[in-house]
Chain A
């Protein structure tokens, strides 16, 4: 099971890197979303997979009676999902506003902050 998931993680990463290298911001955005999912799946796989036993201690016991799924990777993933959701929402709105303001979603044409014309300093005064 782990090896199949590892291959899937690899495919996710390949897809997201391909999209991240694009010039269009929309594709980069989708790439970011895909990257987040790839990482979550990676942590999930790296934390070892245990089938069907939720990490809940039954009533009246202080510890689980049988072996349970490792809850820590899930806690890490939950944190990572919440964070990446917040950041993604922000970047989405930012991209939209930047598109409105600059009139393009092509990153090579977004040169407002870094003008392309060569500026020379006066050589003396």
Chain B
């Protein structure tokens, strides 16, 4: 697997896949996509990087331990329900903000987005840790 062609193309491919996974993540909620699918794409990107360049560079690139990443995702997802507390609506109710960043340009931000980012992190963290553990053995 560790051929020159793969080693050359994989860094570019990985970065493209991660960018694409973030696009999928952000387009979720009202269009097909979301944290789970996005997370799967990003996790396969890191798994591919691991196949081509070895496990150690992936761990260095991630900086945090994958399990910690998924723990943070869980934390974020659980926390995304708490803004509802101040709005007197039940846990995990979707709340939206539309801040204007420039004249006439509104960015829709919401608690479902925070939840989705949490899911994205959980999926990336847990799948990458499984994939890296398997790749280390081979």
A interface residues (Cβ-Cβ under 8 A, vs B): 56, 82, 89
Residue B16 at the chain A interface, CB threshold 8 Å: no
Residues from chain A with Cβ under 8 Å of B36 in the complex: 82
A56 to B32, CA, bound (A): 8
CB nearest to B31 among chain A residues:
A56
In the complex, what's the smallest C-beta–C-beta distance from B57 to chain A, in angstroms?
Answer: 24
In the complex, what's the smallest C-beta–C-beta distance from A96 to chain B, in angstroms?
Answer: 10
Residues from chain B with Cβ under 8 Å of A89 in the complex: 130
A56 to B31, CA, bound (A): 8
In the complex, what's the smallest C-beta–C-beta distance from B115 to chain A, in angstroms?
Answer: 15
Residues from chain B with Cβ under 8 Å of A56 in the complex: 31-32
CB nearest to B32 among chain A residues:
A56
In the complex, what's the smallest C-beta–C-beta distance from A86 to chain B, in angstroms?
Answer: 8
Q: List 4 A-B contacts (CB under 8 A).
A: A56-B31, A56-B32, A82-B36, A89-B130
In the complex, what's the smallest C-beta–C-beta distance from B121 to chain A, in angstroms?
Answer: 16
Write out, one digit per residue, whether chain B residues 24-40 have a CB within 8 A of any chain A CB (1) or not (0): 00000001100010000
CB nearest to B133 among chain A residues:
A93
A82 to B127, CA, bound (A): 12
A56 to B28, CA, bound (A): 12
In the complex, what's the smallest C-beta–C-beta distance from A88 to chain B, in angstroms?
Answer: 12
A82 to B123, CA, bound (A): 11
- B residues 1-43 with Cβ under 8 Å of A? 31-32, 36
A2 to B130, CA, bound (A): 38
In the complex, what's the smallest C-beta–C-beta distance from B92 to chain A, in angstroms?
Answer: 16
Residues from chain A with Cβ under 8 Å of B32 in the complex: 56
Write out, one digit per residue, whether chain B residues 42-80 have a CB within 8 A of any chain A CB (1) or not (0): 000000000000000000000000000000000000000
CB nearest to B130 among chain A residues:
A89
A82 to B31, CA, bound (A): 21
A82 to B36, CA, bound (A): 10
In the complex, what's the smallest C-beta–C-beta distance from A26 to chain B, in angstroms?
Answer: 18
Residues from chain B with Cβ under 8 Å of A82 in the complex: 36
In the complex, what's the smallest C-beta–C-beta distance from B130 to chain A, in angstroms?
Answer: 7
A82 to B32, CA, bound (A): 18
